[in-house]
Amino acid sequence: MNIGIFANQLSFFIYLLLENEEKLQNTVYIFDETFKYEIVKKVKSYKCKCFYFRFNTIPNVFRKIFYKVFFERLRIYLRIMYKNKRNIEIFGQDHLRESNIFFSDEFKDIKFNLIEDGSANYWKRNIVEEHSKPFNYLIVGHSDRINKIYLTGLFPTPKEIKHKVSIIDMEYLWNQKSDFEKKIIKDWFGINKDITKNLKSKSNCLLTQCFYDNGDLSKEKQINLYKKILDGYSYKDTFIKVHPLDTLPYSTIFPEYTIVNGNIPFELIYLLTNNLKKILTVNSSGSGIANKKVTVEYYNYNGVKVDIMAGINDFFEVD
């Protein structure tokens, strides 16, 4: 039996590509508090076992108490599950509050398979060590507890984890899926025929990011940034794909453009439409699936085109 631990749509989508229908429907899903609840509801509708703590529905004064109750309930369930079923594997992310449970001695014999969730999976070792300080182990696959790592090849693989990395081809995996498996994936992410039909006439895509929500830019600066980028692109052949954690009201800001919400991973949109010619972004890792087939234009915070590879040596190893 599998246990899946996910905080974002990319790693969840990759997991859905890796496993077959039977395993997907028998997986115990643990979703981080940042995961989109609309997707969790869809997964639950297929009678899958899900753990998900909706922190934003709990007043701050009670949140710590409910956290403790939630994690104790989760630990007890996993303890019983581990006792009764020894053939268990974990898939997902290792830097979450929920995944921390599996790095205790109690569950040390369970295989943990890491799935890419962005550019952090390619960090140099010194960057990983710095970001691992809140944990009692190295994150993003560098711990000895990690059995296997599934990456897309977005950047060169760090030498310390090369021996356990498997580079996947999402397009190949998607084409290997049965029609029913594709239907499950599209249903869980809320894809319908109207979305794909509308996007097939678009050849350009702006990938937004959550700069305002992260405190990197003011709301006005983020809006002006995207206005400047889109200035040279018509709404007739360009759509905006919103980052899952980006909360700006793009339908109001850019009413003439087609907006795709944050529930749907860009990688799935790319596979379903397969007609993109250009991706516009500041530094979104979502462009990775298409960077060998389409033109990717990178911009700085001022909306000026830049060479993103110029400062890459500071964070990633370069072949």
Print the SS3 string covering 62-119: HHHHHHHHHHHHHHHHHHHHHHHCCCCEEEECCCCCCHHHHHCHHHCCCEEEEECCCH
53: pLDDT strictly greater than 90:
no
Q: How many helices (H) and strands (E) does the chain have?
A: 12, 13
Domains of the chain are 2-175 (3.40.50), 191-314 (3.40.50.11110)
CA distance 261 to 255: 14
Query: Going by C-beta distance under 8 Å and a sequence separation of 6 or more, which residues neighbour residue 202?
Result: 237, 238, 239, 258, 273, 275, 276
pLDDT, mean of residues 136-146:
96
Residues paired with residue 5 on neighbouring β-strands, in sequence order: 30, 92
User: Tell me, what's the pLDDT at 65?
Assistant: 86
User: Tell me, what's the pLDDT at 112?
Assistant: 96
Mean of the per-residue pLDDT values of the chain: 91
State percent of the chain over pLDDT 70. Answer: 95
CA distance 37 to 45: 12
CA distance 7 to 30: 9
85: pLDDT strictly greater than 90:
no
pLDDT, mean of residues 204-213:
95
The string of pLDDT tens digits covering residues 69-81 is: 888 999 999 988 8
pLDDT, mean of residues 129-158:
95
- Cα 20–chain centre separation: 20
User: Tell me, what's the pLDDT at 84?
Assistant: 80
User: Tell me, what's the pLDDT at 319?
Assistant: 59
Largest CA-CA distance found in the chain, in angstroms, rounded? 60
**CA 130, 243, 281: angle at the middle one, nearest 5?**
85
CA distance 189 to 185: 6
User: Tell me, what's the pLDDT at 172?
Assistant: 95
Encode 276-290: b = buried (16+ Cβ within 10 Å), e = exposed: bebbbbbebbbbbbb
The structure tokens listed for 114 are 């890491």
12: pLDDT strictly greater than 70:
yes
User: Tell me, what's the pLDDT at 318?
Assistant: 60
User: Tell me, what's the pLDDT at 160?
Assistant: 96
- Pick the range with the lowest mean pLDDT from 59-63, 224-228, 233-237: 59-63
The string of pLDDT tens digits covering residues 254-296 is: 999 999 988 999 999 999 987 889 999 998 887 777 766 788 8
User: Tell me, what's the pLDDT at 113?
Assistant: 98
Q: Is residue 87 within 8 Å of 61, Cβ to Cβ?
A: no
